[in-house]
Amino acid sequence: MSLSKYKKYLIKKGQNEQLAGVSSDPWQDLPKNKSAAALELHELHNRLADLQQRFFVDRRKKLLLVLQGMDTSGKNGTIKHVFRGVNPQGVHVASFEKPSSRELAHDYLWRIHKRVPSNGEIVIFDRSHYEDVLAVRVNDLKPEDVWRKRYRHINDFEQMLVDENTVILKFFLHIDRDTQKERLQERLDIPAKNWKFDTSDIVARGLWNKYIQAYEEVFKKTNHPHAPWYIIPANKKWARNLLVARIVVACLEDMHLSYPKINYDPASIIID
């Protein structure tokens, strides 16, 4: 499996930067049903667990995964279902909600930078530094002349991380407005999901078109070969999970990971 196999999911200049023309249902190379996807995902879990262990002991690189998407697109669900079975010693999740007063007292990348991965570590960002050109823009939290500068800051920040041996994969979990409505209604109808609902979700839904416009500009301004954006059709949760798992596994396989070489002959050692 090679990462080049998934080039069709990369955001491409002038092709799928406009989200209205991109399907959020499973594309043709994905299984036709949930059961087939579940079998493949189980196999990928085993492969990912092995690769993650190799990545952890290899320690030549760091891996940063950025998950962004509209409310209910499934950032938490993706993390839960893709990274099932990995060693938590080497995989960590950083969630970025509304910044605290202490975080606001620093530059906006301060809270982000301290959560990036170290050597051999995989870190998953549930939301990210992109909120500072998405939510900040849509909700008019900063003047335009402030947030527009942040595209350059973000590009420079990610380039620095790459220069320091961080591999970056950015995923946009793409759902349509009807799917979001269904998932929000589930949060109201199913008692076990009531806790997920917040009235702010309705406010954000009313800003759907503004968020789409903001995401499209993010793709135009921050999509680069060293830090690419992947568009993940996410109307079907099983397709979303499988595709992200495929891409992460392919990325790790392309690194040709190996265990460290030993400087002794195991056969020569006798343990009494």
Q: pTM above the 0.85 mark? A: yes
Per-residue confidence (pLDDT) for residue 192, from 0 to 100: 94
Label residue 35 by pLDDT band (50, 70, 90): very high
Whether residue 147 has pLDDT greater than 90: yes
Per-residue confidence (pLDDT) for residue 33, from 0 to 100: 83
Helix (H) or strand (E) holding 226, with range, is none
Residue 185 CB partners (closer than 8 Å, separation 6+): none
Whether residue 262 has pLDDT greater than 90: no
Per-residue confidence (pLDDT) for residue 16, from 0 to 100: 72
d(CA 212, CA 174): 10
d(CA 202, CA 146): 27
Per-residue confidence (pLDDT) for residue 95, from 0 to 100: 96
Going from the N-terminus, what domains does the chain have, and what CATH number goes with each? 3-178+192-255 (3.40.50.300)
Whether residue 30 has pLDDT greater than 80: yes
Per-residue confidence (pLDDT) for residue 106, from 0 to 100: 97
Per-residue confidence (pLDDT) for residue 211, from 0 to 100: 97
Whether residue 20 has pLDDT greater than 90: no
Per-residue confidence (pLDDT) for residue 260, from 0 to 100: 82
Q: How is the beta sheet containing 62-69 ordered, strand by strand? A: 91-95, 122-126, 62-69, 166-174, 229-233
Q: What is the DSSP letter of 241?
A: H
For the chain, give the percent of residues with pLDDT over 70: 100
Per-residue confidence (pLDDT) for residue 258, from 0 to 100: 84
Q: Taking a C-beta distance cutoff of 8 angstroms, is the pair 121, 62 a contact?
A: yes
d(CA 233, CA 74): 11
Would you call 182 helix, strand, or coil by DSSP? helix
Label residue 135 by pLDDT band (50, 70, 90): very high
The whole-number average pLDDT for the span 64-89 is 95
Helix (H) or strand (E) holding 263, with range, is none
